[in-house]
Amino acid sequence: MAQEPPVQDLMNYEAMAQDALRGVAKASLKRAASPEGLPGSHHFYITFKTDAAGVSGPVDLLSKYPDEMTIVLQHQYWDLAPGETFFSVTLQFGGQPKRLSIPYAAITRFYDPSVQFLLQFEPPPSAPSEARPEPKSDARAEPQAEEPPKGEATIVSLDQFRKK
């Protein structure tokens, strides 16, 4: 008996599921941007592909993380503006306020450690290299861990938690 070829998913259900789950992250950011802010002890670790199409921010900051970056929205974030396809937020890096704009499609992980809620997404395709300035060769080196000033937003590398 001849075996039939597998049926092709012309509906693209996996992509629809990813978009729907990104909607959870979007709704969470909208709630955090409301006048009431984040309820209780909720806070977010948002990991995104820095080389994804539409990601924007200071070149010096993004060049330190040429692939992926994690930001924390907890106590000190300003001007959180969740839109339909991306969100923008101002965080402090090295004592300086810096604005980031991140498309929801660039998010690879959304984590609320207060309730152990984690969403992981397929990484988006990288933006064309001419769309983003190439970082200086020394900027690609792994940043040295240092103790952040108390009360500042920090970037957390999740590499130490990954299974090897």
Tell me: the pLDDT tens digits for 144-155? 333 334 444 444
90 domain residue, yes or no: yes
Low-confidence ranges of the chain (pLDDT < 50): 131-158, 160-161
120 domain residue, yes or no: yes
Q: What is the 3-state secondary structure (H, E, C) of the chain?
A: CCCCCCCCCCCCHHHHHHHHHHHHHHHHHHHHHCCCCCCCCCCEEEEEECCECCCECCHHHHHHCCCEEEEEECCCCEEEEECCCEEEEEEEECCEEEEEEEEHHHEEEEEECCCCEEEECCCCCECCHHHCCCCCHHHHCCCCCCCCCCCCCCCCCHHHHCCC
Q: Which two tokens stand for residue 164?
A: 């090897």
27 domain residue, yes or no: yes
Q: What is the CATH number of the domain that holds 21?
A: 2.30.30.220
Domain holding 81, by residue range, is 16-32+41-132+148-161
Backbone angles phi, psi at 29, to 5 degrees: -65, -35
139 domain residue, yes or no: no
For the chain, how many structural domains are there in total?
A: 1
pLDDT computed for residue 163 by the predictor: 53
4 domain residue, yes or no: no
What are the tens digits of pLDDT across the range 129-143?
A: 554 444 433 333 333
